[in-house]
Chain A
Amino acid sequence: MTSTVTPDGRTIGDVLLEVKNITLRFGGVEAIKNISFDVREGEIRAIIGPNGAGKSSMLNVINGFYHPQEGEIFFHGRKRNAMKPSQIARQGIARTFQNIALFKGMNTLDNIMTGCFTHMKTSLLEQAIWWGRAEREEYVYREKVEHIIDFLEIQAIRKTPVGALPYGLQKRVELARALAAEPKLLLLDEPMAGMNVEEKEDMCRFILDVNAEFGTTTVLIEHDMGVVMDISDRVVVLDYGRKIGDGVPDEVRSNQEVIDAYLGVAHD
């Protein structure tokens, strides 16, 4: 596969993640039915669909919180075995959550620093005695984190406990923590849910900037169709756990099944 260049000058490379024939059941309920799609390096891929379509379940499968009963996941072209979420994080998949999962008692800086956890190599003993290597490592990552803080414009809340921050800022801190892991694949679960128009615009800008600056491959789930169509390169549409559309935003927009799923069908 060759790389392509988007109209705005970003390079989109080979397939980074491929999910094949994934089926996920909770008891008798099939949350995801035989879904396949791929994510290419450097692109912004959206998963959309009405409530209960299986979007978050799909993200949880990629992230390792759920283990599908059927199907395969290929990451970097290699088949991935069932793994724990912490192992998957170490492979370079970072995520944010729909209902914000930050460490509420810790301040913004510490929250973002936890994102670097998988990269920090010094041993417990070295850290315990603050041995040279551990100290240097701490400074290196602190610098990286400061860069991310500047990038996302959250300098002012560096030392604030995140539990006390307004919702929009908490979402931004969560994005910062995910970025601190320098992820190969970034999963965003409804990054704009519950935001006002201005906050949504900010968040869109950050997602695009992150993608442009770091070349981060991003998979995002979103309800707001307008937002999705504006920022994503390709869109997967789910409905009742089935895939009903897949393609560039314009294709998806004109897909009759998608329109039916979103607007409802006249029954006569």
Chain B
Amino acid sequence: MSADFLYAIEVLLNGLMAGVMYSLVALGFVLIFKASGVFNYAQGVMALFAALTLVGIMNGEVPFSHLINAMFGTQVHDFGWHVPALAAIGLTAVVMVFFAILVEKLILKHLIGQEPIILFMATIGLAYFMEGFGDMMWGADIKPLDVGLPKGGSIWIEENTAWLGGEGQRFFGFFIDKLDMSATLVAAILVIALTLFSQYTATGRALRAVADDHQAALSVGISLRAIWVITWSIAGFVALVAGIMWGSKSGVQFSLAFIALKALPVLMLGGFTSIPGAIVGGLIIGMGEKLFEFLAGPLIGGATENWFAYVLALIFLVFRPQGLFGERIIERV
């Protein structure tokens, strides 16, 4: 096989892995959208906030240290201890549950029965608030995150695929990032677990019921407020996973919040209401944009990754507005 062809396959594989990272963010959107019909603009910022909190806890940083130092003229920065990664992840998960309770108490509770657009506006406000709050709490520096996930290219894969090129070809095996592979594994586990949970448990059914009809859900004894806390907790948990993966890849920085924008075309492709859709959509976008850059990039001057996903989503909107896996709205007349 020619080296170019093999290189195209490598691009494709890496595209798939990049797509998984998009899917992780998109998943959080889908969960909240399914359970409350709200498009949660703050999902990306939640991932950022979770990652910031995780790094902060791991490094034993003092929250609000800048604020404290400015107000009292002190020089506190950290507690001087290090928390092991797993314990820190557990603590961050607790913080995200606490955050979900606050969101319900301070925002959602007061907006019961309002139009989705109003809830959407509320989540935009929430996104900006959290961005500022995260900054105030943990500072605005770019921080490396290392929770012990494997890094770098997999040498095993490189060595064992090098023969594919054959004699005399300039091909030395596929380069595949170990971090990307673990992200894929984590995403797969997450999706399977979430799907089973929502399909085969009483609480999962209650989540779907609330998404479908509030009044009917109340009449069978489901408490909307409890379900919202659960939904936002799960979304917070997914945000944490996405935050860990993106943070490990490119450091915890405020531009993480913008990866949320890439989740939008993913959702348009996969459908806003489908968990498998978020995954497949992410894969298609990831693969598509890498391959397009590889094939057409040199011809039209590159940087196609910036816009390819949106154009693809636009084409989808024309031909299949509900996305690949979105629920078709059944209306009996």
Residues on A facing B (Cβ under 8 Å): 63, 65, 84-87, 89-90, 94-95, 97, 101-106, 110, 113-118, 120, 122, 124, 127-128, 130, 134, 137-138, 141, 161, 163-164, 167, 177, 181
Contact = CB atoms under 8 A, between A and B. Distances in A.
Nearest to A125: B203
- Of the listed residues B196, B212, B332, the one surrounded by the most CB atoms of chain A closer than 10 A to its CB is B212
Contact of B223 (A86, A102, A110, A128): A86
Contacts of A95: 219
Nearest to A95: B219
B221 A130 contact: no
B219 to A, nearest CB: 5
Contacts of A94: 219-220
A97 B216 contact: yes
B220 A118 contact: yes
29 contacts: A85-B218, A86-B223, A89-B221, A90-B221, A94-B219, A97-B216, A101-B216, A102-B216, A103-B212, A104-B212, A105-B212, A106-B205, A106-B212, A110-B208, A113-B202, A114-B209, A114-B217, A114-B222, A117-B221, A118-B220, A118-B221, A120-B202, A124-B203, A128-B197, A128-B201, A138-B201, A138-B202, A141-B202, A163-B332
Contact of A127 (B202, B217, B332): B202
Nearest to A170: B332
Contacts of B208: 103, 105-106, 110
Contacts, number: 100
B34 to A, nearest CB: 10
A27 B222 CA distance: 29
Contacts of B224: 86
B327 interface: yes
B201 A130 contact: yes
A17 to B, nearest CB: 17
Contacts of B300: none
Contacts of B200: 130, 138
Contact of A97 (B215, B230, B330): B215
Contacts of B196: 130
Interface string B214-249: 011111111110000010000000000000000000
B167 interface: no
A110 B205 contact: yes
A177 B221 CA distance: 12
A116 B216 contact: no
Contact of B230 (A85, A110, A116, A124): A124
A115 B202 contact: no
Nearest to A64: B218
Contacts of A161: 330
Contact of A115 (B201, B203, B220): B220
A172 B212 CA distance: 19
A104 B213 contact: yes
Please classify how large the interface on chain B is, using the bins under 10, 10 to 19, 20 to 34, 35 or more: 20 to 34
B228 to A, nearest CB: 13
Contacts of A167: 332
Given A103-B208, A127-B201, A84 B218 contact: yes
A86 B221 contact: yes
B26 interface: no
Top 9 A-B pairs, shortest CB-CB distance? A89-B221, A101-B216, A118-B221, A103-B212, A127-B201, A163-B330, A85-B218, A120-B202, A86-B223
Contacts of B221: 86-87, 89-90, 117-118, 181
A127 B204 contact: yes
A105 B199 CA distance: 13
B206 interface: yes
A8 B235 CA distance: 56
A72 B221 CA distance: 22
Contacts of A116: 202
Interface in B178-213: 193, 196-197, 200-206, 208-209, 211-213
Nearest to B331: A163
Contacts of B209: 103, 106, 114, 117
A125 to B, nearest CB: 10
Interface hub of A104, A105, A120, A141 (most chain B Cβ within 10 A): A105
Given A103-B216, A167-B332, 20 more contacts: A86-B221, A101-B213, A103-B209, A103-B213, A103-B217, A105-B211, A113-B202, A114-B206, A114-B209, A115-B220, A116-B202, A117-B202, A117-B220, A122-B202, A127-B197, A127-B201, A127-B202, A128-B203, A134-B201, A181-B221
Contacts of A63: 219
A217 B217 CA distance: 22
A115 B327 CA distance: 23
A163 B332 CA distance: 8
A164 B216 contact: no
Contacts of A65: 215, 218
B213 A102 contact: yes
B227 to A, nearest CB: 10
A184 to B, nearest CB: 13
Contact of B218 (A86, A105, A120, A134): A86
